[in-house]
Structure 1
């Protein structure tokens, strides 16, 4: 049985378009000390997704944590193509936003960030791991489209 793609509204944080397989984090992540930008893996001890790669994924992370240095680690991961293709958050985060903006300005690599409300976050966090998502964000609106076709 196949289903039509589902679209979710989002608030723009950083403009761009990105797509990939979804990865819902089970806990917040600090890129500073918690992510190896060169290897492209979560290295934070005890993190539920420790050892997983964010490369080319649509990262669903409700909230970030950690140091302002997370911006530089995220920008470097994006430069090296070991970072996410797009980020969806429940809370806007300036530090994560700066990392994506820096990567866009310095390296010409664009990773959009969209923020969603609690109800949308709940729906997105229940999608099957690895489902393909497309995140489209401009200055006025954002959308997240899931392709639920079997």
Structure 2
């Protein structure tokens, strides 16, 4: 999405559904999917929602951000440090985040994000488009 998402009041931590009815992802389930948003939005309680998503098994498979988001990243760090559970978080920067618009499928591997035009293309590394290889921030699960 091209719009930041508030996790506090924007995502149901027990189902992974985007419940912000004004957000373009409204009704989508983030569980086990790569979530690409420019940033979080709003309250610092977004950290606790991210933590709950991870602990409840409803977190995204990875979080791709345009810019560093301390609030969402904090929730991931707490889950990792206190509970040994985590998800990859990659801050891509403006150009790489914009390149995601061309990808319908992505693969996150460490600090590398590959984009693919289709699910079939994702099975062939030769068809990968490198979206980012040296992001400004990477947390690997």
Q: Do these two structures clear the TM 0.5 threshold for a shared fold by scoring above it? A: yes
Structure 1 residue 116: Cα displacement: 1.2
Higher helix residue share? 2
Q: Does 1:116 align with 2:85?
A: no
RMSD of aligned alpha carbons: 1.5
Q: Does 1:135 align with 2:108?
A: yes
Q: Gaps (5+ residues) in structure 2?
A: 123-141
Please, what TM-score do these two structures have when normalized by structure 1? 0.73
Q: How many residues align?
A: 119
Secondary structure in 2 matching 1:29: coil
Check whether the contact 1:40–1:54 (CA below 8 A) recurs between aligned residues.
yes
Q: Does 1:98 align with 2:67?
A: no
Write out per-residue CA displacement over residues 21-76 of structure 1, whole angstroms, 9 at most, x where no aligned residue.
xxxx2421110011101021000121111111110111111121110000000110
1:76 pairs with 52, 67, 82, which one? 52
Aligned to 1:52: 28
**After TM superposition, what 4+ stretches of structure 1 lie above 6 angstroms from structure 2?**
none
Q: Gaps (5+ residues) in structure 1?
A: 1-24
Aligned to 1:30: 6
Please, what TM-score do these two structures have when normalized by structure 2? 0.78
Structure 1 residue 127: Cα displacement: 1.4
Check whether the contact 1:60–1:125 (CA below 8 A) recurs between aligned residues.
no
Write out per-residue CA displacement over residues 107-136 of structure 1, whole angstroms, 9 at most, x where no aligned residue.
2212111111222111112212xx2x2223
